Amino acid sequence: MLGFKPLEYRQTANTIVILDQTQLPEKEMYKHLKTVDDVYEAIKSMKLRGAPLIGIAAAYGIVLTAHSNELESILKAADYLESARPTAVNLSWAIKRMKDVAAKSKNLFEGLLKEAQAIEQEDRSACQYIGQYGSELVKAHAKIMVHCNAGALATAGIGTALGIIYTAESQNKNPVVYACETRPLLQGARLTSWELTKNRIKTYVISDNMAATYMPEMDLAIVGADCIALNGDTANKIGTRGLAIIARYNNVPFYVAAPLSTFDFSIETGADIPIEMRSEDELRKFNNKKIVADRAGIYNPAFDITPADLISGIVTEKGIIERPDRTKIERLKNSGLNKYL
Amino acid sequence: MLGFKPLEYRQTANTIVILDQTQLPEKEMYKHLKTVDDVYEAIKSMKLRGAPLIGIAAAYGIVLTAHSNELESILKAADYLESARPTAVNLSWAIKRMKDVAAKSKNLFEGLLKEAQAIEQEDRSACQYIGQYGSELVKAHAKIMVHCNAGALATAGIGTALGIIYTAESQNKNPVVYACETRPLLQGARLTSWELTKNRIKTYVISDNMAATYMPEMDLAIVGADCIALNGDTANKIGTRGLAIIARYNNVPFYVAAPLSTFDFSIETGADIPIEMRSEDELRKFNNKKIVADRAGIYNPAFDITPADLISGIVTEKGIIERPDRTKIERLKNSGLNKYL
């Protein structure tokens, strides 16, 4: 991607350098994470976010502790990092991989570094394939609605949903993107508009509640995912469910783009996916201005569940699962493509 | 209502005193409007808003100019005020009434003041009746989703959508309200949560994109309206259309509450309702913080159109039009209930 890297591990300093996403689009500020506490805080406060990226960050976070070569303290750090955010399955998936490697490594630092690099490299490669497969869904001059940020800022590569758009652009299809701003933390407004325009993709930002106005013009809607259950129900950023309902009402194809690391085959349906509730203050204040009356309550779930029957297809690095259901996803599970789950 | 009046005309000072709604919920500040320019600016900047209230404000705005007793300058002021906001039909409706009275009054001030007072009084009364009729839709402990602010802050009375909730509360039904925050100007978060909690109604604020998560729990959704076409298509605050689609998907009854002054029988369908596009900056910045990349475009329509077939009923001061359609609304038109249209 043009001119930024959301995360980079520097071996000589044993440091993770991240682009602080809470400062975008105003400031492009990088932060150096040197301890597991730094990594935990960065994930929790969403200085870095995006399901694949937090998996990678946690993997390198474990590497930060590995010089000690003490298995117990490494496993403790791993559990601590896993508790930072409950919904994105890529986080627990990456941590499981790291723990498995730790259990059988002699040189813990070397083994864990190699595994973190593999997780990062696989994610970069998955984004490329998702982009390739997904770009087949994009016709020339397509108008595409997206939500939150499932882009280069959320992965080690070109992104998932936005990876499809970058790939279509590289095929001279000139897609036009409508990005929902994504309250409360405005990842669509702040991050998606930033990375897309930096890469010369024509982008319009709308508030989430304008989706129903512009959906009839869309050729396609594409979103990312934080967890996909065995039956295809998908947890993604709050607002995805409403977007899927509005897309269906308008007969607009609604696709989920996610690497296989986002599937949790142990979860039967969306009803069993844990949904992170975040602080009331994300809705109660904005930039220190109070925007809700004190005596009113607030609900702030960070994710919602889109039922599989509203999803036209799931774009993975192994191809597109059209009209996802339990049978197709079980076939995927049993094909052994995703050996870590 | 408890402790506030969004607008009051004071005859001795020939001044309109308004509650500056842009300052809520942090500050309860009142402003004195002494000229037509003051009134225009207050409507344009949404210091006062709400379809019925801006009609009343414009009526009194014309009164401010009437001491001159010069018909021409009064009509000019009327046209100027009408241009402040294009979508809310109550504004042009009130101005038409005032112009008709001006054309046949000897003492312009006296005639116009009387008419403005009549418009205000009729709106207050309409709210009472809407509250009565609408409260029949509310069962005990009902959970009700609302959008934007169709409350006491938007009318001369107890409000339209919120008037129904206040009336249900007075019947000891203890409704619980879920208020969508209503981006970009946050009237749901700032205004609805303020007036409901001031009146001891249990209220939760959610972001607009959480509606699909909480709709399955709702017994009812009620919104206001800025313009209702002959076929029942309804313009209301941006986000209403999406809410109606989500309500339908969940089989939740979706009602519009509005006085008859909100109907425009000269408009055949929603496609002919003019939609106000507001400044990009409402979405580009928040409290002076930039939240969108500079190179991204922005769309900011202030209203959307909800097709009649998504509306369970329209609650008016003359009763509820269930499953509104052209036949029923033509009957309403021809019954002569609304003599000014």
A320 Cβ under 8 Å from any chain B Cβ: no
Q: What angle do CA A253, A148, A254 make, to 5 degrees?
A: 10
Contacts of A233 in chain B (CB under 8 A): none
> Which of these is catalytic: A226, A233, A264, A304?
A226
Q: Which residues contact B91 (CB under 8 A, 6 or more apart)?
A: B43, B51, B54, B55, B58, B81, B82, B84, B85
Do residue B293 and residue A198 have CB atoms under 8 angstroms apart? Answer: yes
Last residue of a domain, one of A101, A126, A151: A126
Sign of torsion over alpha carbons B215, B221, B226, B230: positive
What is the mean pLDDT of the segment spanning A93-107?
A: 95
Residue B300 lies in a domain: yes
Last residue of a domain, one of B80, B104, B126: B126
CA proximity to A183, closest of A51, A98, A278: A278
pLDDT in tens, A320-332: 999 999 999 998 8
Who among A207, A245, A295 is closest to B212 (CB)? A245
Contacts of A298 in chain B (CB under 8 A): 204-206
Strand arrangement of the beta sheet that strand A254-257 belongs to: A319-322, A313-316, A254-257, A220-223, A143-146, A176-180, A202-206, B297-298
What is the mean pLDDT of the segment spanning A227-242?
A: 98
Same domain, B145 and B113: no
Strands B297-298 and B227-228, by their bridges, are unpaired
Residue A132 lies in a domain: no
Same domain, B158 and B97: no
User: What are the two backbone dihedrals, phi and then psi, of residue A127, each rounded to the nearest 5 degrees?
Assistant: -60, -40
Same domain, B75 and B211: no
Residue A221 lies in a domain: yes
Question: Does A337 have pLDDT greater than 70?
Answer: no
Residue B132 lies in a domain: no
Task: Give the pLDDT score at A334.
Answer: 80
Q: Tell me, what CATH number does A145's domain have?
A: 3.40.50.10470
What is the mean pLDDT of the segment spanning A48-70?
A: 95
Query: How far from each other are the two terminal CA atoms of chain B, in whole angstroms?
Result: 30
pLDDT tens by residue, chain B, 341 residues = 677 999 999 999 999 999 999 999 999 999 999 999 999 999 999 999 999 999 999 999 999 999 888 999 999 999 999 999 989 899 999 999 999 999 999 999 999 999 999 999 999 999 999 999 999 999 999 999 999 999 999 999 999 999 999 999 999 999 999 999 999 999 999 999 999 999 999 999 999 999 999 999 999 999 999 999 999 999 999 999 999 999 999 999 999 999 999 999 999 999 999 999 999 999 999 888 999 999 999 999 999 999 999 999 999 999 999 999 999 999 888 875 544 43
DSSP string, B112-174: HHHHHHHHHHHHHHHHHHHHHHHHTTPPTT-EEEE-S--SGGGSSSS-SHHHHHHHHHHTT--
The helix or strand, by DSSP H or E, that contains position B27, with its residue range, turns out to be none
CA proximity to B168, closest of B216, B204, B131: B131
Mutating which of B291, B299, B303 best tests the A interface, going by the most A Cβ atoms within 10 A? B291
Same domain, B148 and B72: no
Q: What angle do CA A171, A177, A182 make, to 5 degrees?
A: 140
What letter represents residue B287's amino acid? N
Same domain, B110 and B195: no
Same domain, A267 and A184: yes
Do residue B210 and residue A180 have CB atoms under 8 angstroms apart? Answer: no
> A8: which strand partners?
A17
pLDDT in tens, A149-194: 999 999 999 999 999 999 999 999 999 999 999 999 999 999 999 9
Question: Does A340 have pLDDT greater than 70?
Answer: no
Distance CA B310, CA B254 (A): 7
Task: Give the pLDDT score at A336.
Answer: 59
Instruction: Give catalytic status of residue A100 as yes or no.
Output: no
Contacts of A205 in chain B (CB under 8 A): 283, 292, 296-299
What letter represents residue A161's amino acid? A
Same domain, A147 and A288: yes
Task: Give the pLDDT score at B287.
Answer: 83
Same domain, B153 and B105: no
Query: How far from each other are the two terminal CA atoms of chain A, in whole angstroms?
Result: 30
B290 Cβ under 8 Å from any chain A Cβ: yes
Same domain, A269 and A298: yes
Question: Does A341 have pLDDT greater than 80?
Answer: no
Mutating which of A178, A194, A207, A282 best tests the B interface, going by the most B Cβ atoms within 10 A? A207
Distance CA B275, CA B269 (A): 13
Same domain, B81 and B149: no
Who among A214, A283, A304 is closest to B212 (CB)? A304
Percentage of the residues of chain A whose pLDDT score is greater than 90: 93
Residue B246 lies in a domain: yes
Distance from CA of A235 to the nearest CA of B (A): 12
Domain span at B66: 7-126
Same domain, A97 and A163: no
Residue A245 lies in a domain: yes
Q: Which residues contact B65 (CB under 8 A, 6 or more apart)?
A: B36, B73, B74, B77
Task: Give the pLDDT score at A335.
Answer: 77
Residue B2 lies in a domain: no
C-alpha neighbours within 13 Å on the C-beta side of residue A308: 21
C-alpha neighbours within 13 Å on the C-beta side of residue B196: 39
> Which of these is catalytic: B226, B233, B264, B304?
B226
Last residue of a domain, one of B106, B126, B146: B126
Model ipTM? Answer: 0.95
Same domain, B187 and B116: no
Q: Tell me, what CATH number does A64's domain have?
A: 1.20.120.420
Residue A39 lies in a domain: yes
How many domains does chain A fold into? 2
**Range name among A62-71, A119-128, B48-57 with the lowest pLDDT average:** A62-71
User: What are the two backbone dihedrals, phi and then psi, of residue B227, each rounded to the nearest 5 degrees?
Assistant: -165, 130
